[in-house]
Chain A
Amino acid sequence: MIKAILVFNNHGKPRMSRFYQYYPEDMQQQIVRETFHLVSKRDDNVCNFLEGGTLIGGSDFKIIYRHYATLYFVFCVDSSESELGILDLIQVFVETLDKCFENVCELDLIFHVDKVHYILAELVMGGMVLETNMTEIITRIEEQNKLEKSEAGIAAAPARAMSAMKDMNIPQKIKDMKLPDLPSIGNLKF
């Protein structure tokens, strides 16, 4: 059984948390903090397994995590799960996210945490692994997206337009705009 799935960034900010056992909110925050504390002080070239979060688990539980760019994906599992299997599952999860968001980055997770939950729900249900076949997962997600779109229909058009407007964030866009590199200027001799 999987007890919890946490995603947080390099600073310990939670990006998604999913507990398959009830904990009150403040406890959840503590667990995230503790897990971050445990995980973040580890080098990248050490093993991906950790024993002994005191808040979650106990001797039977293990923390299995992977570190991708700015994000940690952490699974807290008991001994009925295969360690390497879970590592693969994390990989599947991230690859699925990557496919669904097209080059996923932390911002996607920040702004679409609900979607991340829906994607996760196709992989893991109630703490048990539901599906590991990525094509199957993606078809299911796409079908649900289609369903959602068809329900929104014409009524959603103004809302979409509006959110597109908001998304534009023009000042930032200008800042981000990249000018072509002109490295040769400095070398020009007059």
Chain B
Amino acid sequence: MALSKVKGQLERVLDKNLQDLVRGIRNHKENESKYVAECLDEIKNELRQENVAVKAMAVNKLTYLQMCGYDISWAAFNVIEVMSSPKFTFKRIGYLAASLSFHDGTDVLMLTTNMIRKDLSSQGLYDAAVALNGLSCFITPDLARDLANDIMTLMTSTKPYLRKKAVLIMYKVFLQFPEALRPAFPRLKEKLEDADPGVQSAAVNVICELARKNPRNYLALAPLFFKLMTSSTNNWVLIKIIKLFGALTPLEPRLGKKLIEPLTNLIHSTSAMSLLYECINTVIAVLISVSTGIPNHTASIQLCVQKLRILIEDSDQNLKYLGLLAMSKILQTHPKSVQTHKDLILQCLDDKDESIRFRALDLLYGMVSKKNLMEIVKKLMVHMDKAEGTNYRDELLAKIIQICSQSNYQYVTNFEWYVSILVELTRMEGTRHGRLIAAQMLDVAIRVQAIRPFSIAQMAVLLENAHLLANNSQRNGICEVLYAAAWLCGEFPDHLTDPKSVLEAMLKPKITVLPGHIQSVYVQNAIKLYANIIKRAEGEGGLETVRDVGEMLQERLPIFIQSSDLEVQERACCMVQLVKYVLKLQDKGGEAAAGIAEEINALFAGELNPVAPKAQKKVPVPEGLDLDAWINEPPSESSEDDDEKVGGSIFVPTTHDDHRSFYSEPKKKVPELTEEEMQKMKHQRMADQEHNPNYLKPSKGNNKKSSTKEEANGVMEIDLSVPLHVPGFASSDKYMQLENEERRKRKSGKKKKRKKKGAAADSDEDDIPQAHQVSTVEELPEGAEAVSDKEDGGGDELYKKLDIDLDEPLKPGDMLPVPTHRIVSDHTLPEATEPEEGRKHRKKDRGSKKEKKKRKEDKTDKKKHKKKTKATPDEPSLMMEDHEEIDGDNTPLTSPRNTQPPTQVGEENGEKMNDLDFWLSGKDAATPSEPLHGAIMVSEVKVTPLQDLSSDEGAKPDKPDSSTHSKKKNKKEKKEKKEKKEKKSKKSRLRAEGYEETGGITTPSQEQVPPAQADTPVNVKPMSSYRLLAENATIKMTCETRVSPQRGDQVVLSVVFTNFTANIIKNLEFNVMDTLNTKLDRGMGHSNHDAVPVPFVLPPSVSNEGQFAFNVDSLSQPSKLRGTLTYMVKMDDGSTHEKLDFRLTLDCSSFIVAVPCKSTEFASLLGSGDLTEKGTIKCTPVDTNFDGALLRICFYNHFKVVEKVEDSASLYGRSIQGQHLCLLVKHAKGEVTVDGKSSDGSLLSNVLGEIKTVLTSEVL
């Protein structure tokens, strides 16, 4: 047996592995497909073998072929076989292949559910991880539903690596199975404060993705994120959070106000460009959402614009690009501040980088005004001449049109200029935007009535020079403008000077090379012109010319009859008959001929207005018409296929030219309107126009005169100003000169005026008159007004499903489905007992609910509510194990099983909102103009409710306090200190309760949540008071140390500088003398004597915070450093250099991180024998209360309580380099004994010494 195995192995040695395959493909470059086909045969052979190793190798090869574009879905089953191998090596190969090739439509996926479940609950760390990796790529709704519960379990795994992945994959689960969101959300929220930074970042990631699509539901998390933002040092997390805030602020302007301070601080202090950029982005979002109300909001804008300018001027193209991108966001709301940088942006148009040019173009869009439109367009035209690459040129063309036509031609003051620009644009070779130009021509000519004569004349010129444009007859090419030209000339022939020559131009044989839809317009409008010629002739009596024209038509139209385009053919036939008829009548002469003109013109009578874009949608459905009802019986399923083919050809018109739909729009009339209705509509429209302030009433007489005059002018002058091209085309340049002259005149006039008036407020923007008026009449169907303008945003269905209210308490239905049969047997036991227990819970819940109601009636204080919701463990409780946990006496509101009366739900919601309100208003009320203490204030807000819970007496006197002290803050510093002390003692009381609670509940089944996590003073930590570092009459420094668990060699010193003077302090430089062990991180390229500049200036009586990193080698000794702060005080009469010396002590406690530790882990750690060093101290603490003493140790020395039993407690802490520190604190007769164990003796003794100081000193 064993022998045959070995033999099999040896044979397999000669099989081709992945490397061989790759090598083979590289060696067979000329006949790759043949070689691959051979290999595929081999692989198929190998997949048939029993040996898993062979299969795995085959699958591995398939993954490579998949990348090369070969379909490998046929091997799906074999992939699953390899996935199910117990060996990690093969499993990994299998999951990789699956993640690359499986998708929703892979039918064998349903076979994998149990296998994946087994892998997820596997003991091997990497088995589960690999399964999660794979699952994240091919998860389907079914898999998500069936596995949600298992992934939820993994979210509480003891291994951060798995927790991280489980948290992240939850997003995919939510997408596929939205029902999971509500039950899973509490746990997800919990992970935001996970001890492991990776898990935390994953949770932030997931919530940010969720919130991006449905931000409203996540507003309630804002305080939590705010806390994270002020405490986190991980730039990735910060960026995500800041981006999230950007999405949230539009919904809650107050949030923006709160954000602006910390964000501007970050902008000042951060050195990471990515963070800086995101901060600016979010500040912009804030400023957009709150355009008023922020005191220094122009300052913020200025700051942003100024920083962006630096980015744009940077030599790094990436920064330049991003700077422009962000600039365009500011532009939307604060165009003025961007317009000052016009020079810079125009300069970017010349950049060699296309992305940057496009961005700059985007900005131009917002920078135009009536004043500079001509100038900017001129510049763009120049660029267009120079630009190489049709792509960029097209973009420029589209941009010009967009700039000019934006908000209903708001900035176009002279439409003759605009029409000339459009005509000039037609000379652009090879553009794809012919249709766009044509649409503009139509739009302008139709809506700006005063310009018609001029634009018709231009169109006539275009038609006569059609041979220049018709050359490139490609789709959407420039020949499209002929469509507009022909139609306009036909529609408004009265403005033509010589309709006959135009008609001749339209019937040149060369026209037949044009696309069909243009030809048909030609034919149709030729007749319109004919009708007009007859009409004119009747007035003058020039019957001869009419006959000539008729004969010419008869001669030339037949070409069109032979057209291959149906539409052209049909129209041409009609027209030929019509002409014949007219000629016949004219031959008869006399009476018959007299009425001809009128009759023919009646064919084309009627004014045409553009149809409103949504007109079709707004046609009201007549009563009694059900559009969904079948007219005939639906066809039976079986015959569907045959029917479709036949039906398709019969009923569906062959849409070979889809442009129809586009072009027919302006001509479209609402069908079936009777005369009466039309009349009614017209009246209504008139009435509407009267009352509509947007409608510009035409004042024809005046304009017409001037424009006709200018028209003559325009036609004459062309040849002079435009060096080449077709004679007759108007040039746009002269309008610019004209405009400039006028402006000069106006300006001089205005100057005089201003002198009289004093400072005139507004810019001369409004003074520039618009030469022509744009009509805004649009055709709408009868009854349309009643229908509201509802957007039917076709948005992502996928994300809409995730729009779930998360604040609403869980309902009985909100549970993850628990599979009825599963491989893991752990869970089946509690499930069996579920019904009974569930009932019990409900009873208990009801009891406590009553109690709560009573309490609620007692106090109307918001804070109280807040605590209550806080106190209820928002546990997801999908599984019964969790349920038992919740079974505490204060749980009920969010417990999933109890049904709640709807009124209470509402109340609860209101409360949640109030929480947010409270948080948002908190800072405004407490510190109206204190820039710095953001973090501290938050923590205060957080702390107050805690007191409320602990004792009712405590809450009452405190309430007025917190509101009054905000007002008189600076006067009451001493009092404040006292208050703080009080708070501390209260807190400790509370905490004692907390411990008892958790201690009491601790049951074996609770393993998943470390007991310390529930209510220990994690929340208190940001309270951390800053120590005084040094102080003199001008400046004060207080500092705090921060460490991050990821960096074992770094301590960040956060120093708050406070300016006491009424002068600006600048050029702050921070320096310390490095010791062997501790060195200030000065950044690259600086010697160890250089000072670190503080990245801000201090305005009078303002505080700001700077951070300095220290690199530390060994942690076992405290570091004592001497340092100097130099700065410059800028006074009215010059400035003085000053310095302030200080001594900085980095004690050992500052290297310790409070890491949660379970009592079992703690015990095994003590028992492992690694902790060889011991130490003991004894002291009499100032806090006679044992809990107070514990709190101090936890707070100042960064320990975490593992377990507390009566008068003794075990504490755990870990240094950033991973040394464990275990303490046993005992309390007896007012004396505290601390026994410590650690792997590092000197660290331990130092820390113990520090603990002693902490416990015995009065004020810290």
Residue pair A126, B169 in contact (C-beta under 8 Å) = yes
Interface 9-mer from B160-168, B539-547, B676-684: B160-168
In the complex, which residues of chain A have a beta carbon less than 8 angstroms from the beta carbon of B17?
A: 159, 163
Q: What count of chain A residues pass the 8 Å CB interface test?
A: 60
Residue pair A47, B355 in contact (C-beta under 8 Å) = yes
Nearest CB on B from A49, distance (A)? 6
Partner of B88, one of A20, A45, A46, A147: A147
In the complex, which residues of chain A have a beta carbon less than 8 angstroms from the beta carbon of B318?
A: 47-49, 83-84, 87
Please, which residue of chain B has its CB at the minimum distance from the CB of A110?
B22
Residue pair B274, A88 in contact (C-beta under 8 Å) = yes
The answer, yes or no, to whether B349 is at the interface (CB within 8 Å) is no
Q: How far is the CA of A91 from the CA of B114 in the complex (A)?
A: 38
Partner of A126, one of B100, B137, B198: B137
Q: Contacts A50-B355, A80-B209, A114-B96: A45 and B317 contacting too (C-beta < 8 A)?
A: yes
Residue pair B67, A47 in contact (C-beta under 8 Å) = no
Residue pair B67, A17 in contact (C-beta under 8 Å) = yes
Please, which residue of chain A has its CB at the minimum distance from the CB of B102?
A22
The answer, yes or no, to whether A125 is at the interface (CB within 8 Å) is yes
Q: What count of chain B residues pass the 8 Å CB interface test?
A: 71
Nearest CB on B from A109, distance (A)? 10
In the complex, which residues of chain A have a beta carbon less than 8 angstroms from the beta carbon of B70?
A: 25
Q: Contacts A118-B96, A129-B236: A49 and B352 contacting too (C-beta < 8 A)?
A: no
The answer, yes or no, to whether A99 is at the interface (CB within 8 Å) is no
Residue pair B164, A158 in contact (C-beta under 8 Å) = no
Interface 9-mer from A69-77, A131-139, A175-183: A131-139
Q: Mark A144-157, 1 if CB is under 8 A from B, else 0.
A: 10011001100100
Residue pair A25, B126 in contact (C-beta under 8 Å) = no
Chain B contacts with A in 172-225, Cβ cutoff 8 A: 172, 198, 202, 205-206, 208-209, 212
Residue pair A85, B133 in contact (C-beta under 8 Å) = no
Nearest CB on B from A102, distance (A)? 17
Partner of A152, one of B68, B89, B239, B322: B89
Give the total number of A-B pairs whose CB atoms are below 8 A apart: 156
In the complex, which residues of chain B have a beta carbon less than 8 angstroms from the beta carbon of A49?
A: 318, 321-322, 355
Partner of A117, one of B13, B89, B96, B198: B96
Q: How far is the CA of A23 from the CA of B96 in the complex (A)?
A: 16
Partner of A166, one of B9, B20, B239, B278: B20
Q: How far is the CA of A45 from the CA of B20 in the complex (A)?
A: 38
Nearest CB on A from B548, distance (A)? 54
Q: Mark B245-271, 1 if CB is under 8 A from A, else 0.
A: 000000000000000000000000000
Interface 9-mer from B58-66, B719-727, B754-762, B934-942: B58-66
The answer, yes or no, to whether A16 is at the interface (CB within 8 Å) is yes
Q: How far is the CA of A28 from the CA of B60 in the complex (A)?
A: 19
Please, which residue of chain A has its CB at the minimum distance from the CB of B104?
A22
Q: Mark B1-31, 1 if CB is under 8 A from A, else 0.
A: 0000000011011100111101100100000
Q: Mark B343-379, 1 if CB is under 8 A from A, else 0.
A: 0000000001111101000000000000000000000
Residue pair A144, B126 in contact (C-beta under 8 Å) = yes
Nearest CB on B from A124, distance (A)? 10
In the complex, which residues of chain B have a beta carbon less than 8 angstroms from the beta carbon of A29?
A: 69
Residue pair B1046, A47 in contact (C-beta under 8 Å) = no
Residue pair A85, B19 in contact (C-beta under 8 Å) = no
Nearest CB on A from B1241, distance (A)? 28
Residue pair B69, A84 in contact (C-beta under 8 Å) = no
Chain B contacts with A in 271-307, Cβ cutoff 8 A: 273-274, 277-278
Q: How far is the CA of A57 from the CA of B13 in the complex (A)?
A: 45
Residue pair A126, B168 in contact (C-beta under 8 Å) = yes
Nearest CB on A from B253, distance (A)? 22
Partner of A125, one of B26, B165, B209: B165
Residue pair B206, A83 in contact (C-beta under 8 Å) = no
In the complex, which residues of chain A have a beta carbon less than 8 angstroms from the beta carbon of B9?
A: 155, 158-159
Chain A contacts with B in 48-79, Cβ cutoff 8 A: 48-51
In the complex, which residues of chain A have a beta carbon less than 8 angstroms from the beta carbon of B26?
A: 110
The answer, yes or no, to whether B243 is at the interface (CB within 8 Å) is yes
Residue pair B66, A25 in contact (C-beta under 8 Å) = yes
Residue pair A26, B205 in contact (C-beta under 8 Å) = no
Nearest CB on A from B99, distance (A)? 8
In the complex, which residues of chain A have a beta carbon less than 8 angstroms from the beta carbon of B1046?
A: 133
The answer, yes or no, to whether B1158 is at the interface (CB within 8 Å) is no
Residue pair B236, A132 in contact (C-beta under 8 Å) = yes
Q: Mark B110-140, 1 if CB is under 8 A from A, else 0.
A: 0000000000000000100000110011010
In the complex, which residues of chain A have a beta carbon less than 8 angstroms from the beta carbon of B353?
A: 42-43, 46-47
Q: How far is the CA of A59 from the CA of B755 in the complex (A)?
A: 51
The answer, yes or no, to whether A113 is at the interface (CB within 8 Å) is yes
Residue pair A26, B136 in contact (C-beta under 8 Å) = no
Q: Contacts A126-B169, A136-B198, A151-B87: A163 and B19 contacting too (C-beta < 8 A)?
A: yes
Please, which residue of chain A has its CB at the minimum distance from the CB of B66?
A25
Residue pair A84, B277 in contact (C-beta under 8 Å) = yes
Residue pair B88, A148 in contact (C-beta under 8 Å) = yes
The answer, yes or no, to whether B92 is at the interface (CB within 8 Å) is yes
The answer, yes or no, to whether B93 is at the interface (CB within 8 Å) is yes
In the complex, which residues of chain A have a beta carbon less than 8 angstroms from the beta carbon of B22?
A: 110-111
Nearest CB on B from A29, distance (A)? 4
Nearest CB on A from B752, distance (A)? 50
Q: How far is the CA of A131 from the CA of B103 in the complex (A)?
A: 25
The answer, yes or no, to whether B145 is at the interface (CB within 8 Å) is no
Residue pair A130, B168 in contact (C-beta under 8 Å) = yes
Residue pair B126, A147 in contact (C-beta under 8 Å) = yes
Nearest CB on A from B298, distance (A)? 27
The answer, yes or no, to whether A100 is at the interface (CB within 8 Å) is no
Q: How far is the CA of A80 from the CA of B405 in the complex (A)?
A: 32
Residue pair A128, B126 in contact (C-beta under 8 Å) = no
The answer, yes or no, to whether B42 is at the interface (CB within 8 Å) is no
Partner of A121, one of B13, B133, B208, B356: B133
Residue pair B202, A130 in contact (C-beta under 8 Å) = yes
Nearest CB on A from B229, distance (A)? 15
Q: Contacts A50-B355, A80-B212: A126 and B205 contacting too (C-beta < 8 A)?
A: no
The answer, yes or no, to whether B320 is at the interface (CB within 8 Å) is yes
The answer, yes or no, to whether A82 is at the interface (CB within 8 Å) is yes
Nearest CB on A from B608, distance (A)? 34
Q: Contacts A49-B355, A80-B208, A114-B63: A131 and B164 contacting too (C-beta < 8 A)?
A: yes
The answer, yes or no, to whether A14 is at the interface (CB within 8 Å) is yes
Residue pair A162, B277 in contact (C-beta under 8 Å) = no
Q: Contacts A82-B243, A85-B236, A130-B164: A47 and B320 contacting too (C-beta < 8 A)?
A: yes
Please, which residue of chain A has its CB at the minimum distance from the CB of B165?
A125
The answer, yes or no, to whether A1 is at the interface (CB within 8 Å) is yes
Q: How far is the CA of A112 from the CA of B18 in the complex (A)?
A: 8
In the complex, which residues of chain A have a beta carbon less than 8 angstroms from the beta carbon of B165?
A: 125, 130
Q: How far is the CA of A26 from the CA of B168 in the complex (A)?
A: 30
In the complex, which residues of chain A have a beta carbon less than 8 angstroms from the beta carbon of B205?
A: 128-129
Q: How far is the CA of A129 from the CA of B208 in the complex (A)?
A: 12
Q: Mark B45-66, 1 if CB is under 8 A from A, else 0.
A: 0000000000000001001101
The answer, yes or no, to whether B226 is at the interface (CB within 8 Å) is no
20 A-B pairs whose Cβ atoms sit less than 8 Å apart in the complex: A1-B209, A14-B68, A16-B67, A24-B71, A25-B70, A49-B322, A50-B355, A83-B322, A111-B22, A113-B64, A114-B93, A114-B96, A118-B96, A126-B139, A126-B172, A128-B171, A130-B168, A144-B92, A158-B10, A162-B14
Further pairs besides A85-B235, A148-B92, A162-B13: 18, Cβ < 8 Å: A25-B66, A25-B71, A25-B72, A46-B354, A47-B317, A47-B318, A49-B355, A82-B277, A110-B26, A113-B64, A114-B60, A125-B132, A125-B133, A125-B169, A126-B136, A130-B168, A144-B88, A159-B17
Closest 4 CB pairs of A and B: A126-B136, A84-B274, A47-B317, A22-B103
